[in-house]
């Protein structure tokens, strides 16, 4: 693909800012954290460069390999990192790119820089944080290699042969001195991101190979979606029923801002719009999302009025969110110089983008409605139903409030609250069943731990309307106990009123327990989303086994491997022992429950995080949605992952 554009790169374009010691000293400043997320971010940093090459029209293939020895290889067929000498530094450009911070070299306005969130810190950061880093460049008919350890050059650039291809191969092994928790890459996290990139860039093909996987059929995945965002929407809605044959597809460009959108209405009650700027998921939204919302509302409203679908004398008022209920969409814009704002730097600030998106969407959507009057009518009928449900939900909310005021103190009767009231230090356990709830109440530290027992199954919010959800007793109890409201409307959920900063779901380690846990997480994900974004939701991990030996020695095991280890040790010491498997939380007495699952000193909590918003939506809709077939398939595919990573 190298001949597509004239190769006009000059090494002097590369700006040099600082050295790599800073990155090793404070890795979190550059990659967010040094846990799972930061580790996987290393891959994004390299892949972003390949995607930049694709956006510039030079690259259409990417191959990622996870090796058994902890290395990752990322190969692309882009132009290859330039190797000519940097005039000021008298170093090969590639060395500058790989060893100097912020030496991007892509400062021409034609390219779409990625600098949202943690993206755009540069491949040099990956180099700095790798025990070993190898770069191979195919460019100008020649193959060059260079090697580093912890960011320091160990093999200066050398030519090792000839080639007819162009491209870059980066191979690196994260430094365990930096990533002290773990250096193990998760195939699913990588695959979710690669799939997303393949949807957003229909010109590229991606192969992922996991050499650690023994099962041949699970070893590799390939992604190529010629339908782009349209395919993305179909994928997201696989387990929902669409109201239209094909997603509405819109593409246009205003003022150098290419806008692409695919969307379809489905039989669910949630809004699922994912937005991207230069391939970065803009979770906090921004001007492109406002432009889209304005266009959608204006367009549907004026169509409804023109065609007398919503009578002007009707009592219901339709609000913006009603037009988005049951709408799945992917909005992708490319912005030459994006300004990212917000807490996680994933909110687009460029004001010109709002009008660009609004103009493109309004015009094309109008055309669509005019050409598809039947669909238009169905959509608007759905919008009216949404408005009615919203009105009913408002009444249900008032009822919850009134109930809690009359209930004295305003809290649900079965809540055993904690005595301090500083949310930052308070936790609430949502416990499956009254009997486990009783043990938890007795075992807890009542100063900062509150217990709310939940009886039976809570409602599947994936299949119910908001007003029905708010009528459900268990949900009402959770909403009042947490104190921050519920819903995705602007003022429905108020974080500053939240009464606990740790919300801990504690269910039995069996099928029912995991079902209840998933129901609760689905509810938080859909209706108290900021809780999950903030990382306030946790899963308690009760042990699976108790091993009782002579003289009252008790050990707990959370998995089979540890159980076997403990047994082996006991046998070695010639001790008698008894192994019992906990079937439910109720089998533990209060002190055992405290010791194993609730004591902050000894417990392990799994924090619920979202690595990838689209993948999380897909998971919940598949687990909890309507169609039985994809659901079974999903569970089968994921059966080996016992824990729930959203």
From the candidates 140, 512, 569, 611, give the one annotated as an active-site residue. Answer: 512
Cα dihedral across residues 23, 25, 26, 27: positive or negative: positive
Provide the 8-state DSSP code for 218.
G
Show Cβ contacts of residue 216 under 8 Å, excluding neighbours closer than 6 positions. none
Contacts of ligand 0RA in 140-199 (CB under 6 A): 168, 170
Residues 395-424, one symbol each (x = binds ligand 0RA by CB under 6 A, - = not), give ------------------------------
Whether 391 is a known active-site residue: answer no
- Name the nearest CA neighbour of 229 among 275, 282, 175: 275
Choices 79-87, 144-152, 194-202, 542-550 (CB under 6 A): range interacting with ligand 0RA: 79-87
Show Cβ contacts of residue 436 under 8 Å, excluding neighbours closer than 6 positions. 453, 506, 508, 584, 585, 586, 593
Locate tokens 């290419």: which residue? 258
- Angstrom distance (rounded) from CA 167 to CA 79: 5
Cα dihedral across residues 177, 346, 108, 17: positive or negative: negative
Nearer to ligand 0RA, 169 or 464 (CB): 169
| Total chain residues near ligand 0RA (CB under 6 A) | 17
Query: Which residues does residue 74 pair with via DSSP β-bridges, in sequence order?
Result: 64, 170
Provide the 8-state DSSP code for 341.
E
Show Cβ contacts of residue 622 under 8 Å, excluding neighbours closer than 6 positions. 238, 239, 630, 631, 634
Nearer to ligand 0RA, 78 or 586 (CB): 78
Provide the 8-state DSSP code for 242.
B
Structure tokens at 105: 């070299």
Q: Count Cα atoms within 13 angstroms, Cβ side, for 241.
A: 5
Nearer to ligand 0RA, 5 or 637 (CB): 5
Choices 76-84, 225-233, 307-315, 501-509 (CB under 6 A): range interacting with ligand 0RA: 76-84
From the candidates 510, 559, 560, 564, give the one annotated as an active-site residue. Answer: 510
Indicate the helix (H) or strand (E) that contains 160: strand 152-162
From the candidates 48, 53, 432, 462, give the one annotated as an active-site residue. Answer: 432
Quote the least distance from Cβ 479 to ligand 0RA, whole Å.
Answer: 48
Structure tokens at 71: 């290395």
Quote the least distance from Cβ 124 to ligand 0RA, whole Å.
Answer: 10
- Name the nearest CA neighbour of 543 among 504, 569, 506, 502: 506
Show Cβ contacts of residue 86 under 8 Å, excluding neighbours closer than 6 positions. 11, 12, 14, 16, 92, 93, 96
Q: Does 513 engage in binding with ligand 0RA (CB under 6 A)?
A: no
Nearer to ligand 0RA, 107 or 641 (CB): 107
Q: Does 474 engage in binding with ligand 0RA (CB under 6 A)?
A: no
- Angstrom distance (rounded) from CA 334 to CA 76: 21
Q: Does 120 engage in binding with ligand 0RA (CB under 6 A)?
A: no
- Angstrom distance (rounded) from CA 608 to CA 404: 29
Q: Does 553 engage in binding with ligand 0RA (CB under 6 A)?
A: no
Quote the least distance from Cβ 79 to ligand 0RA, whole Å.
Answer: 4
Q: Does 9 engage in binding with ligand 0RA (CB under 6 A)?
A: yes
Asked if residue 326 lies in contact with residue 269, where contact means CB atoms within 8 angstroms, the answer is yes
Structure tokens at 351: 């004001």
Q: Does 558 engage in binding with ligand 0RA (CB under 6 A)?
A: no
Nearer to ligand 0RA, 205 or 401 (CB): 205
Alpha-carbon Rg for the chain in angstroms: 27
Q: Does 82 engage in binding with ligand 0RA (CB under 6 A)?
A: yes
Q: Does 304 engage in binding with ligand 0RA (CB under 6 A)?
A: no
Contacts of ligand 0RA in 91-110 (CB under 6 A): 97, 105-106
Quote the least distance from Cβ 158 to ligand 0RA, whole Å.
Answer: 19
SS3 per-residue string spanning 545-610: EEEEEHHHCEEEECCHHHHHHHHHHHHHCCCCEEEEECCCHHHCCHHHHHHHHHCCCCCCEEECCC
The CB density around residue 1, as the number of other CB atoms within 10 Å, is 17
Quote the least distance from Cβ 584 to ligand 0RA, whole Å.
Answer: 51
Q: Does 136 engage in binding with ligand 0RA (CB under 6 A)?
A: no
Position among 40, 79, 150, 517 found at the interface with ligand 0RA (CB under 6 A): 79
Nearer to ligand 0RA, 3 or 578 (CB): 3
Q: Does 7 engage in binding with ligand 0RA (CB under 6 A)?
A: yes
Whether 432 is a known active-site residue: answer yes
Nearer to ligand 0RA, 64 or 540 (CB): 64
Position among 78, 116, 513, 586 found at the interface with ligand 0RA (CB under 6 A): 78
Cα dihedral across residues 128, 132, 138, 142: positive or negative: positive
Nearer to ligand 0RA, 7 or 180 (CB): 7
Query: Which residues does residue 604 pair with via DSSP β-bridges, in sequence order?
Result: none
Nearer to ligand 0RA, 95 or 358 (CB): 95
- Angstrom distance (rounded) from CA 102 to CA 31: 13
From the candidates 508, 555, 595, 617, give the one annotated as an active-site residue. Answer: 508
Q: Does 369 engage in binding with ligand 0RA (CB under 6 A)?
A: no
Quote the least distance from Cβ 151 to ligand 0RA, whole Å.
Answer: 16
Whether 645 is a known active-site residue: answer no
Residues 36-55, one symbol each (x = binds ligand 0RA by CB under 6 A, - = not), give ----------x--xx--x--
Quote the least distance from Cβ 377 to ligand 0RA, whole Å.
Answer: 50
Which residue's Cβ has the minimum distance to ligand 0RA? 9
Choices 77-85, 420-428, 565-573, 594-602 (CB under 6 A): range interacting with ligand 0RA: 77-85
Q: Where does this chain bind ligand 0RA (CB under 6 A)? A: 7, 9, 46, 49-50, 53, 76, 78-79, 81-82, 97, 105-106, 123, 168, 170
- The catalytic residue positions are 432, 508, 510, 512
């Amino acid at each position: 693909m190298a001949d597509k554009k004239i190769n006009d790169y000059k090494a002097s374009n590369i700006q040099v800012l600082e050295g790599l010691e800073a990155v090793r000293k404070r890795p979190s400043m550059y990659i967010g954290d040094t846990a799972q997320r930061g580790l996987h971010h290393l891959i994004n940093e390299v892949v972003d460069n390949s995607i930049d090459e694709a956006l510039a029209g030079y690259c259409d293939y990417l191959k990622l390999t996870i090796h058994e020895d902890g290395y990752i290889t990322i190969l692309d067929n882009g132009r290859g990192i330039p190797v000519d000498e940097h005039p000021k530094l008298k170093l090969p450009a590639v060395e500058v790119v790989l060893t100097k911070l912020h030496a991007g070299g892509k400062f021409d306005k034609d390219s779409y820089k990625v600098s949202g969130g943690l993206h755009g810190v540069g491949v040099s950061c990956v180099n700095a944080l790798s025990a070993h880093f190898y770069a191979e460049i195919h460019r100008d008919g020649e193959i060059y290699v260079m090697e580093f350890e912890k960011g320091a050059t160990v093999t200066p650039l050398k030519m090792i042969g000839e080639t007819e291809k162009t491209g870059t191969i980066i191979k690196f092994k994260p430094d365990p001195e930096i990533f002290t928790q773990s250096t193990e890459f998760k195939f699913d996290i990588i695959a979710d991101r690669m799939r997303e990139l393949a949807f957003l860039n229909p010109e590229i093909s991606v192969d992922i190979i996991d050499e650690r996987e023994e099962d041949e059929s699970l070893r590799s995945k390939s992604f190529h979606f010629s339908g782009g965002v349209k395919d993305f929407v179909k994928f997201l809605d696989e387990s929902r029923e669409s109201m239209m044959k094909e997603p509405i597809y819109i593409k246009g460009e205003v003022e150098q801002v290419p806008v692409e959108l695919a969307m379809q209405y489905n039989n669910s009650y949630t809004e699922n719009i994912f937005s991207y700027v230069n391939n970065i998921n803009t979770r906090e939204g921004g001007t492109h999302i406002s432009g889209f919302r304005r266009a959608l509302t204006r367009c549907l409203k004026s169509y409804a009025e023109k065609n007398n679908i919503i009578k002007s004398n009707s009592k219901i008022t339709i609000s913006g969110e009603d037009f988005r209920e049951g709408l799945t969409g992917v909005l992708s814009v490319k912005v030459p110089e994006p300004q990212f704002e917000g807490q996680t730097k994933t909110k687009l600030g460029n004001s010109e983008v709002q009008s660009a998106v609004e103009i493109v969407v309004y015009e094309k959507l109008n055309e669509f409605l005019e050409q598809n009057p039947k669909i238009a009518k169905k959509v608007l009928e759905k919008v009216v139903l949404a408005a009615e449900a919203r009105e009913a939900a408002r009444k249900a909310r008032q009822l919850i409030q009134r109930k809690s005021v009359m209930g004295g103190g305003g809290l649900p009767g079965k809540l055993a609250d904690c005595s301090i009231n500083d949310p930052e230090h308070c936790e609430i356990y949502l416990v499956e069943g009254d009997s486990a709830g009783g043990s938890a109440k007795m075992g807890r530290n009542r100063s900062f731990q509150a217990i709310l027992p939940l009886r039976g199954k809570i409602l599947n919010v994936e299949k119910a309307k908001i007003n029905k959800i708010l009528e459900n007793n268990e949900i009402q109890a959770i909403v009042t106990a947490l104190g921050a409201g519920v819903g995705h409307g602007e003022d429905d959920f108020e974080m500053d009123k939240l009464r606990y900063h740790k919300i801990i779901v504690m269910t039995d380690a069996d099928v029912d327990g995991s079902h209840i846990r998933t129901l609760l997480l689905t509810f938080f994900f859909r209706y108290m989303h900021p809780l999950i974004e903030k990382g306030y939701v946790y899963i308690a991990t009760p042990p699976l086994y108790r091993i009782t030996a002579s003289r009252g020695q008790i050990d707990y095991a959370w998995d089979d491997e540890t159980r076997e280890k403990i047994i082996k040790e006991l046998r070695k010491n010639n001790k008698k022992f008894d192994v019992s498997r906990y079937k439910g939380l109720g089998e533990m007495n209060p002190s055992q429950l405290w010791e194993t699952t609730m004591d902050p000193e000894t417990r392990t909590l799994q924090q619920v995080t979202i690595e990838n918003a689209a993948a999380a939506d897909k998971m919940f809709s598949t687990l909890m949605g309507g169609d039985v077939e994809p659901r079974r398939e999903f569970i089968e595919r994921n059966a080996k992952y016992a824990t729930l990573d959203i």
